[in-house]
Structure 1
Amino acid sequence: MRELLWGSDRQLTAISRSGLSVPARQAVIDHQVEAGRTVLDFGCGRGGDVRVLRSMHFDVTGWDPYYFPQSRQDPADVVLMTYVLNVIEDAEERRKALARAWHLAGHVLVVSTRLVWERNKVSGSCAADGVLTSRGTFQRLFAPSELRELVQEVTGVRCVSAAPGVVYAFKDDVARIAFLARRVVPEAGWLVSEDMASAIASVVDFAERRGRLPRLEEMPVALVELLAHLQSTELQRVVKRSADPEKIAEGIKRTTLSTLLFLAVELFNGRGPFGGLPLSVQLDIRRCFSSYQEACKRADRLLLKLRDDAYVRGAMRASAVGKLTPTALYVHRRAVDRMPTVLRLYEHCAAIAAGRPQEWTLIKLNHHGRAVSWLDYPGFDADPHPRLRSSYSVEMSGLEATYVSYEESEDRPLLHRKHEFLAADDPDVPKYRRLTDAEIRAGLYEQPYLIGTEKGWKAELERCARELRGHRLVRSTVVSSARQPAPDAAITPGTG
């Protein structure tokens, strides 16, 4: 490939980093950058990600046409192309750079760009298909679906959105399907095993949670060594004698649903042959279904049900978790795995198409039309009425994504009745419910249309002569003239 020409001062866009960039961090979280894999940061800028990844003991090199032009562009298992495409002002050169990075990738290409909602952070005039800044730099801002489509077009493979503005292009379908499986099907957790008894207990625990015995290849090496003297038939007898049949039955049900969820997600993103599935998924299918064909048919029907408004609304009404409003279901992050399978599929499809943000607290699933929003309330656990920091939404019919930040807002939206977003057995629910009950008795919810934002809520607290101390509602030391409480009025505060 010819050396890329510089039409703008691209080197000025490179920033110094003390920590990992969002895309590099996502690749580590998703086990794409991991021990044993080589990494090339293609267009590494000042080399911040390279330095941090090396400090984490990963095998990584970096190349940049300005800061590290002498570095080699050797093929690597993982190629990071972080915020490169958006600074190239020529569309054809952009595609060639992407093709070059794809050629160098042996396992996966990780591509990221700045996104369209960052336009207010980029000052300058329109030029070509982007913005030419006063510093002489260029920024081409992408919509998440637009970036995914570009990477798919150039690489010729089906891609996955790992996060907003972060796309993974895998060299083969086996790697892509393994990534999807890791995101959808819970990974096996193993109890600590130091002797024979604890090793058997770990296998029993796996069997009760998964509904089947593990294969040797699924077990940690240390566990295999502890059980090496047992024949497989002996281990089966021990587990059958020790495991709780009711837990095994529940494990089968749970595994059946998670496998259907995975196969439906896989169809949404492109389904492969049975032999291309991760071993654990193959074993789950053999345990829970009569055949791969039957499992696929059931998963296909599940995916089709996403188009049925009545079915989706019925699933929302039947959901054991979440708050149902006239337009949507809201569920806390800790409770999403307790939603009906079709609703979990709803969220997963949006995440694969346009990316799930790293930071979020609640999901919002619309039942009129199909749209998913991830809402970030960073103070949910500590703040009795947490403030909304950001919202990332994906409209499913056209995969249009929008992002709204409320950090600079003087009147942010806030939450009430926090217990309604959680599962009933969440340990924080009693504390949150006591606070809600106290607020209702105090008259704070008499005009619900007023309390959805900070200013309205503050005014109602003043009107009712109340204030919050943690998750306790107490009489205010400053009484509002709008409402003077009777001298003998009794308050039953929530307990923290």
Structure 2
Amino acid sequence: MNAQLFAELISKIKIGKHLPEAIYLHKDAFSALPPELQSFIPAVAKAVLLDDENWDLVKLFKKDFRISLLSYPTFYQDSYPTLKQSMNVDLSKLKHKITSYEQTDNPPILHRKETMVLSDDPHYQEFVDITQEGENAGLYENTRTIGFKRNWETLIQNKGFTLVDGRLFRNSAVIKPQESDSIDRHKTAIVRYGLSVPMKLLSKHGYLNGEHSIFDYGCGRQDDLTELNAHGLDATGWDPNFAPDNDKCESDIVNLGFVLNVIEDQEERIEALLGAWDLTQKLLVISVMIANEEYIAQFKPYKDGIITSINTFQKYYAQAEIKGYLERSLQEEPIAIAPGIFYIFKDKIAEQQYLQNKYKRHHKWEQRTSPIKLDSKEKLQLVIAQNEILFQSFWNKCLELGRVPANDEFDDTHKVKELIGSNKKVFELLKETYPKEEYGKYQLAKTEHTEDILLYLCMELFEKRKPYIHQPDSFKRDIKVFFDGYQHARDSAKELLFSIVDTENIEQECIKAHNTLPASLLNEGHSLIFHKDYAEQLPLLLRIYLGAALQMYGEVDDDIDLIKIHIQSGKLTLTAYDDFEKSVPMLVERIKIKMADQDIDFFDYVNKEKRPPLLNKHLFLPESQVQYKKQLSFDRRLAKALEFEHVDEVMMTRSEFESSLLQVNKKISGFKIASK
């Protein structure tokens, strides 16, 4: 069976529940399938070691060489059975993934079961009657949210019915009891004196440049909108409490900022998510509150969240929990941007452009100012000299791309073509004309651009993203020039990605990084610590290691100062200090990302008395920095006073630090160590 034959066979299927993307069919109806599929589907289940009792339905994809084996163990017993487990089998990649819904409060459910069996099935007429009841009750008027259990049950109640033994009965005489707890949702909308974090991230990534329309779904007191409108941006919003009369309008970018976590009703929560997705044309930004169990434990539990001290509801998520919720609800792959903040692209070209740009180094190439030394015998070189600005601009474009630009990538291609010829000919001539160090810059740009693409492809593989056929033209050109084809590029990336589990490789690359970074601390065999500003200067393998860890966390934000790569354990630690410019900064937050466990531990040092000091800070400053000598002098004096080595990582609690100062009768004032 290959993809072409599979597609041909799928196109011939007349039975089953037909949706735009797939066909659903119970395995009891396989006798009506083409013979090839009758034998092929069970063979796939056997190949992935899935027992017959663990799947009942098959989902056959119309556009992909892919099937899903679905477990609905109560298919014949329940009118609207719930999904227990799904196994998605990608036949083109020979990969499979299992998703369990057993612990999910709001699992997917089935409707219109009669379409999934044959007309001679003993249960066929019963299934037809169940569906007709739903049609008569008006349950299928809006099919957007009915695919989930709680949403379906709520819809039934709202239509004035109840389920008794799986059948609908009118329930107009039953009065729905009021909740004993009244949640003050309006109190969750805080007053902002600057852009919210999701909006700041949109600005950072270039989405607030005026090219995109923006809709804020749940805009609260509209502080973000006021600021965006002041910049002349096309930004509108809606909020059930503060802007209920505003229209909900489709926009390029929709922001669902800290909305899902304040809705206590799970059905309403998913309706808000799907509603925001429906309005999205290019990018949906989703933000929720993240907290650990210790923090949550201090509040009163309510439903799947807590009641705060001001009588508001909060549903605090773990990073993996919200990511999984979004995947299940939207059937899309969220991209972690920061803890609790995700991008989901509806425009897949825009998604690829974002991901590729994310892993690019950002350099500002210095303009050449000295005139080119010419060979008076070379006419073409004379042309270059006479049009220096034009050809310098062309060369800078070569440095930017790491390759010869295509005609549409250099605005003045027609000018250089009239003067000399094709872009390739111009490049070869400039390579001979310019000093050798300029060609060295080009070679470096080519190497770095190649590494950036490999990093992007590694992250695509790590997240198991589907490779998109539609790619920006510039990316296609990069692949052709740097790798001679997309498959070769992916194979190279796969080999690199697998090598991050080799601790010997990681250790060697950490040693290399320590010898090349402007500043770092190497604890041999254990870890490499460096300032976040030097992350892009890491060797490629360590950039991949760092990128793989950050797939769970998101981007390293401005608050983070130091990064620690653990050589042996597959972990990454991010640390933030109260003021990194101080002589002895104090730790305020530590984040440990555990790749093997796919988990993140957050450690907040809210109590100032418990914040550990960062000693020997000069180890993380480059010698070229103005403050380096001052910090080094301070660290030497402090190390001598407290009797520790000034060239090592020194770890102690704040109480130990202050006790040591007290014992030697010293105090710190700025970069001075004085007697008390």
Normalising by structure 1, report the TM-score: 0.84
1:68 aligns with 2:240: no
1:345 aligns with 2:544: yes
Query: How far apart are residue 139 of structure 1 and its match?
Result: 0.8
CA spacing shift, 1:374–1:430, aligned 2, 3 Å: same
Matching residue within 314, 323, 326 for 2:521: 323
Name the aligned partner's letter for residue 314 of structure 1.
Q
Q: Which moved more, 1:458-467 or 1:14-23?
A: 458-467
3-state DSSP of counterpart to 1:410? helix
Structure 2 gap segments, 5+ residues each: 1-141, 146-153, 159-178, 370-385
Name the aligned partner's letter for residue 289 of structure 1.
F
Match of 2:494 in 1: 300
Match of 2:107 in 1: none
Q: Which moved more, 1:159-168 or 1:232-241?
A: 232-241
User: In 2, distance between residues paired with 1:191 and 1:216?
Assistant: 24
1:391 aligns with 2:590: yes
In 2, are the aligned partners of 1:181 and 1:278 still within 8 Å (CA)?
Answer: no
1:367 aligns with 2:567: yes
3-state DSSP of counterpart to 2:612? coil
Query: How far apart are residue 328 of structure 1 and its match?
Result: 2.6
Match of 2:480 in 1: 286
CA spacing shift, 1:173–1:425, aligned 2, 3 Å: farther
User: In 2, distance between residues paired with 1:355 and 1:379?
Assistant: 23
Matching residue within 252, 269, 276 for 1:77: 252
Match of 2:188 in 1: 13
Match of 1:107 in 2: 282
User: In 1, distance between residues paired with 2:396 and 2:606?
Assistant: 45
Query: How far apart are residue 68 of structure 1 and its match?
Result: 1.0
CA spacing shift, 1:449–1:461, aligned 2, 3 Å: farther
1:335 aligns with 2:497: no
Aligned Cα RMSD in Å? 3.4
User: In 2, distance between residues paired with 1:110 and 1:373?
Assistant: 26
3-state DSSP of counterpart to 1:66? coil
Bigger CA radius of gyration: 2
Q: Which moved more, 1:131-140 or 1:201-210?
A: 201-210
In 1, are the aligned partners of 2:338 and 2:556 still within 8 Å (CA)?
Answer: yes
User: In 2, distance between residues paired with 1:82 and 1:191?
Assistant: 40
User: In 1, distance between residues paired with 2:468 and 2:349?
Assistant: 10
Match of 2:455 in 1: 261
Q: Which moved more, 1:315-324 or 1:144-153?
A: 315-324
Q: Which moved more, 1:427-436 or 1:84-93?
A: 427-436
Structure 1 gap segments, 5+ residues each: 479-496
Query: How far apart are residue 42 of structure 1 and its match?
Result: 0.5
User: In 2, distance between residues paired with 1:446 and 1:344?
Assistant: 30
In 1, are the aligned partners of 2:616 and 2:649 still within 8 Å (CA)?
Answer: no
Match of 2:402 in 1: 211
In 2, are the aligned partners of 1:385 and 1:416 still within 8 Å (CA)?
Answer: yes
In 2, are the aligned partners of 1:196 and 1:226 still within 8 Å (CA)?
Answer: no
In 2, are the aligned partners of 1:371 and 1:393 still within 8 Å (CA)?
Answer: yes
Match of 2:204 in 1: 29
CA spacing shift, 1:450–1:339, aligned 2, 3 Å: closer
Match of 1:482 in 2: none
Q: What are the superposed Cα offsets for residues 119-138 of structure 1, whole Å, 9 maximum, x if unpaired?
A: 74896411111012354321
Name the aligned partner's letter for residue 183 of structure 1.
K
3-state DSSP of counterpart to 2:256? strand
Q: What are the superposed Cα offsets for residues 32-87 of structure 1, whole Å, 9 maximum, x if unpaired?
A: 34312111101111111111111222211010112111111111111000111011
Matching residue within 443, 450, 453 for 2:653: 453
User: In 2, distance between residues paired with 1:21 and 1:165?
Assistant: 13
CA spacing shift, 1:442–1:77, aligned 2, 3 Å: same
Query: How far apart are residue 469 of structure 1 and its match?
Result: 5.8
User: In 2, distance between residues paired with 1:427 and 1:209?
Assistant: 30
Normalising by structure 2, report the TM-score: 0.63
CA spacing shift, 1:413–1:103, aligned 2, 3 Å: same
Match of 1:94 in 2: 269
Query: How far apart are residue 411 of structure 1 and its match?
Result: 3.5
Query: How far apart are residue 434 of structure 1 and its match?
Result: 4.3
Query: How far apart are residue 401 of structure 1 and its match?
Result: 2.0
The aligned length equals 473
Higher relative contact order, chain-length normalized (CA < 8 Å, sep 6+): 1
User: In 1, distance between residues paired with 2:503 and 2:428?
Assistant: 48
Q: What are the superposed Cα offsets for residues 471-492 of structure 1, whole Å, 9 maximum, x if unpaired?
A: 5x65x344xxxxxxxxxxxxxx
User: In 2, distance between residues paired with 1:153 and 1:418?
Assistant: 45
CA spacing shift, 1:385–1:214, aligned 2, 3 Å: farther
User: In 1, distance between residues paired with 2:406 and 2:474?
Assistant: 8
